[in-house]
Amino acid sequence: MLDFMMGHYLIASLDANTQFSGHILQCQEDKFRDSLITQRQTGTEIIRGQREFSNTFNIANWERLGHFALTKEALVYLMNSVIKTKLALAMDTNQTFLRTWVRVQAALGNANTPYILAGIRKTSAWTKGTAVDVAHVPKNTDPAFEHWVVIRSLKAASDDSDYYDVEFWTWQRDYTVKFKKSVISSYLACLVYGFLED
């Protein structure tokens, strides 16, 4: 639903020539410091990126049917420019997940109104209600991710557990799923996170 509504908002509201900016955190595994990249795109470029991403889903007549998929860059634009959050950052999770999660928690600090949105792969694994032990191996033709969800909580099941318990919201429902620590990054493609107020 988030993808549908926000995708159509983008189509209806973006001015073709206005330039927008968003922040992408690039995490360097072999460096002490991460790089905060400011990406500037026109409305036309944002829409073009959305169309290219939407085409990777291989849905016939997707534009007529309303299947307009959101990239992380477009979601950062929406959070910054439309919802007017105090902070919106995007980060790929193509490194060890623990390091990714530590960075997110450090950025959010003690914010009163934090949010974490996740671009996820293999949606069925998230909603089937059983522990996920096997890594997801996407095909070359698969989209970068399938769906956006709201992460409510993510923590180790216990101090010595091999699993993360993930509580999330999507399709007007709350879910909980247990992921083995060694495979969770294969199901999480990217995160968009920040806070709504100081």
What pLDDT score was predicted for residue 94?
62
Look at residues 99, 181, 183, 187 and name the one whose alpha carbon lies nearest to residue 151. Answer: 187
> Residue 142's Cα: distance from chain center in Å?
16
How far apart CA 72 and CA 5 sit, in angstroms, is 15
pLDDT-flagged residues of the chain (< 70)? 1-40, 94-96, 198
What pLDDT score was predicted for residue 19?
62
Which 8-state DSSP code applies to residue 146? S
Number of domains in the chain: 1
Look at residues 189, 194, 22, 4 and name the one whose alpha carbon lies nearest to residue 109. Answer: 194
Q: What are 69-96's pLDDT values in tens digits?
A: 888 888 887 887 777 777 777 777 765 6
Q: Please, what's the b/e burial string for 126-165 (b: 16 or more CB within 10 A of its CB; e: otherwise)?
A: beeeeebeeebeeeeeebebbbbbebeebeeeeeeeebbb
**Domain boundaries, position 65:** 2-195
Residue 113, both tokens: 């109104």
What pLDDT score was predicted for residue 31?
46
What pLDDT score was predicted for residue 35?
53
What pLDDT score was predicted for residue 29?
47
